[in-house]
Amino acid sequence: MEITRQKSSESSVSSRLFRGWKRQILLVSLFLTSLLLLGCDPTQPDKTHLQQILDRGELRVGTIYSSTTYLFGPNGPEGIDYELAKQLADYLGVELKMVPSYTIDDLFTQLNAGRVDILAAGLAVTDQRREFYSFSPAYQWISQKVVYKKGRKRPRNLGQLDGVIRVIANSSHAETLERFKTDYPNLDWEVTTEHDSEELMQKVLAGDIDFTIVDSSQLDLFRRYHTELSLAFTVVKEQPVAWLMQKGNNDALQAALIEFFGEMQSSGMIAQLEEKYFGHVGQFDYVDTRAFMRAVERKLPSIKPMFEQYAAELDWRLLAAQSYQESHWNPNARSHTGVRGLMMLTLNTAKQLKIENRLDPESSIRGGAIYLEQLLQRVPEKIAPHERIWFALAAYNVGMGHVIDAIKLTRARGKDPYSWTDVKTTLPLLRKKKWYKQTRYGYARGEEPVAYVDNIRRYYDALVYIEDKKAAADRLAQQKEKFKQLTAGIKEYDGDATDNKVAEKSAPEEQLKAVPER
C-alpha cells in the first residue's frame, strides 16, 4: 500500500448528428480554425488534435472506474461520463474507445503521454489543474465533504480533525488540504494511491481511518446502503466538474467541446443523465435507510423467491423495492384508502387480476407484477426504454390517467413530454387549479408519485448493491472451496508418491532390479 504522510506543501443525440451536412460544417469550421492556429499557412503539415481524432476515426477517452463515472452494469458500460463520451463520439462521427485507469496518477499519465485525447472522469476544476490543462464546459457541480463514522464526536472544521484523515493522492481533495494548510498549520493528513473514494469511506466505517474527503455525488450514492457514515462539514462548496485535455494544439477540440456541451444542455440530455444517475439520491433519511436494511436481513429472505418467480421480464429487485415502498414487506398492510397486502392492491384491481386474497403474499406479489407489466405496456412508445419503468411506477401510484395528463401538460409547458426529468416537475402541478383544470382527469396529489418513484429507485439501488456484494462473496467462497479441494488432492498425491518411494527403498534388491527403468 502506498500511503504518504503530508505535513507541508508538496507536489441521447443521434449517432447520425454529424453525418451529412452537419459533419461538413464541422470540417469547414475545423479547416478555418486550423488556418488561424497555423498562421494562415495552408502548407503547414501540423494538424490540430481534433483533425487527428477525425483522421483516426476514434476518440480515446481516459476515465476511472467509479459508480459515478464508468463501470460495467448488467447491460454493459454505464456511468454519466461514459454516456456523455458516447454522445461526443457520435457527435464527431467517430468510434469511442474508453481507456479506464485505477488511479488518478495513471489517469494523468495516460493524458500526458498522449495515449488518450481527453479525460472524462468526474474531475473537479481546480486552480492547480488549470495551470497545466484545458477544460471543457462544466457539466456537473459538486461540493467536497468531510465524513466520519457515526458515534464519534463530530468535527465542525478542519482544525477539529483529531484523528487520521486520508485522501487520494493528486486528487482535488488533496489540493484542498494543501490550500487550507496556511489557515490550519497543524493540519496533518495522509495520501494514498492504493484506494479509491469508496474504499476510503469503507475504511472510515471499519475504523481503519478517522476521516476522509469525498465529493457530494459519491457520498449521496454511498450512504444509500451505509447508514453509519456521517457528514461532518462541507469543506468546498459548488465546485465545477469538467473534462480535461492537454494545452496546446487543442483549440479546435475545445471549441468542438463547447459546441457539444452547449447542445447537450439545450437538448436536456445532461439534465436527463443527472436524473438517471443522481435524481433520486439528493436526500438522505437515516431512520428510513436503517429500517430498510434491517428489513432486508429479517423480512426479505422468506419472500424473495416469490419476487424472483413472478417478476417475469422485470428485475425482481425492482419489484421487491416497490413492494417495500408500498407495504414495508408487511403482508397485512392496509391504508386508509382500502388498498391491502404486500403490493397494496385495490379491491377493483384485485378482482380484474382474479386475486382472491390480497393478504396472501404470493397472490399479492403475482398480482402486483402483472399489474405493473400492464402499465408498462400502456406507457407511450416514444419514451426511452430505461425511463419507461418510472412512468409505469408513477401510474401504479397515481393512475395512468394522471400520468398522461402530466405528459400533456409537460408538452404545453414547452418541455420534453417523454423525459421523466421534465414530467416529474410537472406532476406536482396537478394540485394547482391553474393546471389541473386543463386536464382530463383533474386534481391529483402529484408530488406523491414523484416521491414514490424516487424512494423505489433508492431501495432498488440498495438491493442491487447488497445482492451483488453477496454474489461476490459467494463466488469467493466457492473459489476458496475449490482451492481447498485442489490443495487437498495435491497433498494426497504427494502422500501416495512418498509412500511408494518408501516402499521401493524397503523392497528386496532383487525385486527392485525386476522393475523396468523409466
Q: What is the pLDDT of residues 354-371, one digit of tens each?
A: 999 999 999 999 999 999
Q: Which pLDDT value is given to residue 473?
A: 74
Return the minimum-mean-pLDDT range out of 13-17, 123-127, 215-219, 476-480. Answer: 13-17
The mean pLDDT value for 136-164 works out to 93
The mean pLDDT value for 434-453 works out to 90
For residue 146, give the nearest of 225, 209, 193, 66 by alpha carbon. 209
Residue with cell 464519534: 152
229-246/140-149 β-pairing: antiparallel
Task: Give yes or no for a contact between 281 and 216, defined as CB atoms under 8 angstroms apart.
Answer: no
Q: Which pLDDT value is given to residue 232?
A: 94
Span 51-83, pLDDT tens digits: 999 999 999 999 988 877 888 765 678 889 999
Return the higher-pLDDT residue of 330 and 271: 330
Q: Is the pLDDT of residue 7 over 90?
A: no
Q: From start to end of 48-117, where are the E strands?
A: 58-64, 71-73, 76-78, 95-101
Q: Which pLDDT value is given to residue 277?
A: 81
Please name the amino acid found at residue 214: V
For residue 421, give the nearest of 318, 261, 284, 269 by alpha carbon. 269
Q: So which residues are the catalytic ones?
A: 326
Burial of 470 by CB count in 10 Å (0-12 exposed, 13-18 middle, 19+ buried)?
exposed
Task: Give yes or no for a contact between 119 and 111, defined as CB atoms under 8 angstroms apart.
Answer: yes
Half-sphere exposure of 109 (CA within 13 A, CB side): 8
pTM confidence score: 0.63
Confidence bin at 24 (pLDDT 50/70/90): very low
Share of the chain above pLDDT 70, in %: 83
Dig out the grid coordinates for 289 from the structure: 435507510
Span 276-327, pLDDT tens digits: 887 766 565 666 777 888 899 999 999 999 999 999 989 999 999 999 999 9
Q: Which pLDDT value is given to residue 512?
A: 38
Burial of 69 by CB count in 10 Å (0-12 exposed, 13-18 middle, 19+ buried)?
buried
Task: Give yes or no for a contact between 378 and 391, defined as CB atoms under 8 angstroms apart.
Answer: no
DSSP H or E segment with residue 103: none
Q: Which pLDDT value is given to residue 42?
A: 41
